[in-house]
Every structure is written in structure tokens, then in C-alpha cells.
Amino acid sequence: MFFYSFSFIALCLFYKFNKNTVWDIAVSIIFIISYYYSRMVISVFIFFIFAKYVSFDSILKAFILTTIICILFTVFSSIFELYEYQSMDTMYRSNGLFRDPLGYKYPTYIANMSLYLYMAWSAIRKEKLGILELLFFFLMNIYVYVYTDTRTIFYLVNFFICCILFIKLFNINYKTIFIGRILAWISSFGFILLSTISIYLIITYDPNIEWMYKLNKILSGRLYYGNKGFLEYGISFLGQKVEYIDIADLNSNNSLFVIDSGYFRALIDYGVVLFSVIALGFKYVGDMIVKENNIYYGIIFGVIMLDLLVNPHIMSLDFNPFIFLLSYVGKYRSNMCIEK
């Protein structure tokens, strides 16, 4: 409560009225209404309003510094056994393989943090990003995978590294004939396309259809749980409070219920209105990236959009600092730092 009160006072004292104030008011109303119904996004809203006043590079640097400190502290605490693990089923594969969470609650946590850490570093470095840095990403990715066995993130990080190598080796950008146009379209419309596909598959999921059943198994039950959420809660206009039950909360009186698709979770939690604002924001940022011909940010946004197919990271401040790019409108566009 103190955090929210302090933030409100700071907002009143330091907010700068300008021609985009109407947009800020509109977004604020949508966030507040969504918070009233879902109780999940008010902290994002507070940071969202203030983010535009500083360069996005500064936000990324703060994210990198705090994330590295947290990871080092947690991992070393684990190494020296400063606290005990709470043994959970997520720490073991069906074949009995132990998945070391490296001090975190879940084995997937540090892997997800590392993906966004690599992308944040790359966003700052852009074309200065070197082979040694990519090699470091690759080796750290192997290290995290060996301990946590988080396969999806392992593949995404390798895909990200390969994309960066490809554009560096062949000097690819948005002005490159043919492939540049394809990449430009993906940057501008990728969020809309992938969210539509993801939401459609979840809503229409039928285990009696063989290919859907197999796809659900490949996705570790994500279609099933998403469809379960749709049948139980439906899709609201302004958002709703959804009661999730993760593996740590399981007991004899409940059953597992999670929605891992970032697209569908945002839609079911925050409602059609806020989800539409987010989609338009991704379209706006994608257009700006193409306009500035910043292929590095384009690759990063592409990987984020793929990650959102299987992970709920749209509004997660633990992982995704790139959501704040959506706040840079009007005269604050120069603070986006996406120029080459």
C-alpha cells in the first residue's frame, strides 16, 4: 500500500503535462479498470507512466544490473546451502531426471530470466555485439540447460544467437531485398498473427482431434489448461480475477490450473480492452523498429513474440522490461533508443 501511495504522490508531483496527456489518461483509465477487475497490473501501470521520462537504455541497464545481482545471490546461496529446497514434482522429469532450480522456486525461473538478460544486453550493444559475447550466451545457455533441463528456453536462446549471427554474417537489415520485407512484416504484425493463432488453438482445442491432441502433448498440456480456463472463466471485456493453482499450491482439495500462453493469459486476465491496447502497442513499436531499420530490436521482438506462445511474460516485470517500450509516444520517441 505504501508503494502505491508513494507512486501516486510522485505521479502528481513530477508528471509533465503535454499533448500526449490525453493518451496517458486513456491508458491510465484502462489500467485502473483492469486492476479493479483482475488485481494484477497496477505496478506495471505505475512504471508504465514514468518510463517514458528516461531513456529505455537506462531501464535495460537497471534490469541487467538487478537481474545479475539477484541471480548471483540466489545461486551462491544455493551452492552454500543457506536454505533448503521445497521438493516439488517440477524438479523431476517423468524419467526421474532431477532438475536443479539453482536456488529458485522453479527450475524454469533462472532460464527465463537469462533469455531476457541476453536480449537486454543485445539491445544495448546492437551492432557492437561481438562473437565473444554470443559465445558467452551460448556457453551460459548450455550451463543453465544442463542443470535445469528447461528445453524451450534452451532452444529459444540458441535460435536468438543463430539469428544474430545470420544478420551479422550476411549484413541483413530491413532494407535487404526480399528477406528485409518479410522481416519488416513480422516485426509489425507478428504479435497480432501469433496471438490470433494461439488464442484460436486454445479456444477450439478438442482432444478428440488427433493433431490437436499431439500438439497439446508437445506443448506440455498448454492447450488443455488454456481451454480449461476459457470454459471456466470465458473472456471478459475489462478483465477478471482468475484463480491459478501452480504446482506449489497443490493439495488433496485442488488440482493444477495454469495458463502458460502469454497471449491467452493476458486476454483472459486483463480483458479485451487492455489486450487490444497491448496489441496496438506492439504494432506501434514494431513499426518504429522497422522505420529506424534496427534489425537487432526486430530479432529481439521476434523472439519475445515466440516466447509468449509458451510463457506468460507480457506483463511480468521479473522477466520482460521490453513491455515499457509501449509507453514511448509523441515527443518521448527519442527516449526509445532504437536508433542505430
Q: How far apart are CA 304 and CA 282, in angstroms?
A: 11
Q: Torsion angle of alpha carbons 28, 33, 34, 40, nearest 10°? A: 80
Residue spans of the domains in the chain: they are: 2-10+21-193+264-336
- Confidence label for 80 from pLDDT (cuts 50, 70 and 90): confident
pLDDT in tens, 286-310: 999 999 999 999 999 999 999 999 9
Q: Which of 52-56, 133-137, 276-280 is predicted with the least confidence, judged by mean pLDDT?
A: 52-56
pLDDT in tens, 91-104: 656 566 677 787 78
Between the CA of residue 257 and those of 79, 108, 178, what are the distances in Å?
32, 17, 44
User: Does the structure show a pLDDT above 60 at 89?
Assistant: no
What does the pLDDT read at residue 309?
94
- 78 close to 119: Cβ distance less than 8 angstroms: no
Distance of CA 135 to the CA centre of its chain: 23
pTM of the model: 0.88
- Which residues lie closer than 8 Å to 101 by C-beta, 6 or more apart? 78, 85, 91, 107, 109, 110, 148
CA-angle at 229, arms to 226 and 235, nearest 5°? 105
- Confidence label for 152 from pLDDT (cuts 50, 70 and 90): very high
